[in-house]
Structure 1
């Protein structure tokens, strides 16, 4: 029988082992600083590819604050645990990454650890970036290190205890961070595999379109099943998609390339910035993404395809004087006055409004996206033939917009009525300023290799 002293020694050894293991999990060494490399030291072709990759990763949306310098950080990222502010990723030597080596940058991307050895919060989606190749990280590094430096000290995160303790991030990584999850599928085409690499890696589509668990990690069992983000609903982009007409690879390519599609509608909210960036990258990258995502949507059932074909056959034949749906005379009147002149005029986008029976927003699980669109409208893209729609935040009350939305849901979708639409509109009005996407970054700086 073990003596009390022996038991005490065993407990002490076990405690030391646990402490050593905890330190091994939490502690990471700092990586030495370097002198900021000269921009001309980077190969121009590498910088150009890095520009495209930064656009695919939508880096400017999270790292460029409205009205401030490109990539200077400070963008608020709300989470259930508080607000995290994005960092300065310009080559400023004091407040940015100017003294980071390529190895330090690669570690941040693949392991979520900064140059000083601190664990980064997973609002920076390194759970996807761990799939990015060393070659592409090199190109991204070259691009960022040739941007205009911006002196912009980091803003303090607004996280309550214990979520402000970065040691918890190490535990989160043990539970949820997996390296090397992207694997080439030899049964698929090169284009499909390239799309999978981009979607599951740098493009990090699942960060918005996959629901999350109580600890903020993506629910791996239901990828692309839809989630709420930045006061919008990111639709399911799998076989649960609410789109009235099934998506295919060609429609996805056109939508991602120009921001709208006549059978599906216009990109709004956070997605508007995504497609704005994708419009600047090689078409081959966008087509690969579309090919992979079309496979994630899956082939539609015969019934769903039949219904979609019916809607397309009827498109453009809507009456501007549709009868009141469910006795909603107020909604019918508002539709005839404000929606029908564009949406029932028989003109295809971008010169007319989408046939509302094709609108994903009106077939969505809740009214949030439709409310945002009615409130803020759709702004035109400078120098392009793009869809445009006025916002009605100043000319309609919450009750009027709710009546209109209830009418549109009943008249143009085959889904059950939404609940508490007035409350949804009221909430959307409070947050519509937050919902609007950042303006395009300064392309005079961004597009120069």
Structure 2
């Protein structure tokens, strides 16, 4: 009897392992040759700035935002991630990558070796992008300098360091649906919605997350604890920005100055360095979209402890 019980248990374990392996398998957005595309370098530069590539991938503590040798430490509740080298260095960067490999990485979070990237890389937003825009970004990156230097491995605690588990995470928190324009809205509003939700990946920082690191859908863009562990990321729906005009938001994205005359600080300074490079019409489009968001209540910010004495 006990032998039968053990056999049944073994079969159940093998079946469960098979289901896990199937569900967690990396899915390639593109395989083989990609459709012919004439690269638009000017658009690629716009996408580079909208995506904030330099914010994470530029070599820290130096002024040139095109030196994409990586190395920035990105803290999280699961450990510390280190932004990789995405320069044109053939050994340490992406100099040998094909366009299809780049599209798979950006839009589906899958490496050329067929492994999942951790979602510290915001492909959960980038997957909404148009493939042509990603191809233009790839072409633009090819014009930037190669930077030698291998970035150290991530420091992530078990079991979150198992890349195969990310496949299950994607099933839970990444729907894979493309961006669809709203026919009832203006072209400017749709452009803003596209930039904010795809390359701009605003929700990645400005939304609270659950215990597994997934964005809480009902509180999207409603702010919350800084995922890097220090401070609070503000609510950017009309719950907090109700007194801001679209022009106020656009001016902020261009200059980093708030309507009260104060200036932005912290990690947002890196974001403004990117958004300030965008065409004025794209900044206006993002402002138009953000101004249209309904007020959403986010998590309550803890009160600051008063100093002793």
CA distance in 2, matches of 1:256, 1:108: 28
User: Equivalences for 1:320-335 in 2 at 5 Å?
Assistant: none
Is the contact made by 1:25 and 1:170 (CA closer than 8 Å) also made in structure 2?
yes
The structure showing larger relative contact order (alpha-carbon pairs under 8 Å, at least 6 residues apart) is 2
CA distance in 2, matches of 1:132, 1:194: 12
Q: 1:25 corresponds to which residue?
A: 23
Q: 1:215 corresponds to which residue?
A: 212
Deviation, 1:264, is 5.9
CA distance in 1, matches of 2:19, 2:301: 45
CA deviation vs aligned residue, 1:249-301 (integer Å, no higher than 9, x gap): 11111111121144363221111121221111111111110000001155xxx
Deviation, 1:33, is 12
CA distance in 2, matches of 1:166, 1:183: 30
Is the contact made by 2:208 and 2:219 (CA closer than 8 Å) also made in structure 1?
yes
Of the candidates 130, 133, 138, which is equivalent to residue 136 of structure 1? 133
- The alignment's C-alpha RMSD in Å is 3.0
Is the contact made by 1:33 and 1:101 (CA closer than 8 Å) also made in structure 2?
no
Moved more, 191-200 or 273-282: 273-282
For structure 1, which runs of at least 5 residues remain unmatched after alignment?
35-41, 299-363, 367-417, 424-449
Deviation, 1:186, is 1.1
CA distance in 2, matches of 1:246, 1:126: 32
For structure 2, which runs of at least 5 residues remain unmatched after alignment?
none
In the superposition, the TM-score normalised over structure 1's length comes to: 0.60
CA distance in 2, matches of 1:419, 1:269: 18
User: Equivalences for 1:10-409 in 2 at 5 Å?
Assistant: 12=11, 18-28=16-26, 46-67=40-61, 70-180=67-177, 182-229=179-226, 230=228, 231-241=230-240, 246-263=243-260, 265-296=262-293, 365=301
Q: 1:410 corresponds to which residue?
A: none
CA deviation vs aligned residue, 1:73-122 (integer Å, no higher than 9, x gap): 11111010110111111111111111111111111111111111111110
If each structure's helix is expressed as a fraction of its own residues, which one has the higher value? 1
In the superposition, the TM-score normalised over structure 2's length comes to: 0.85
Deviation, 1:158, is 1.0
How many residue pairs end up in the alignment? 293
Structure with greater Cα Rg? 1
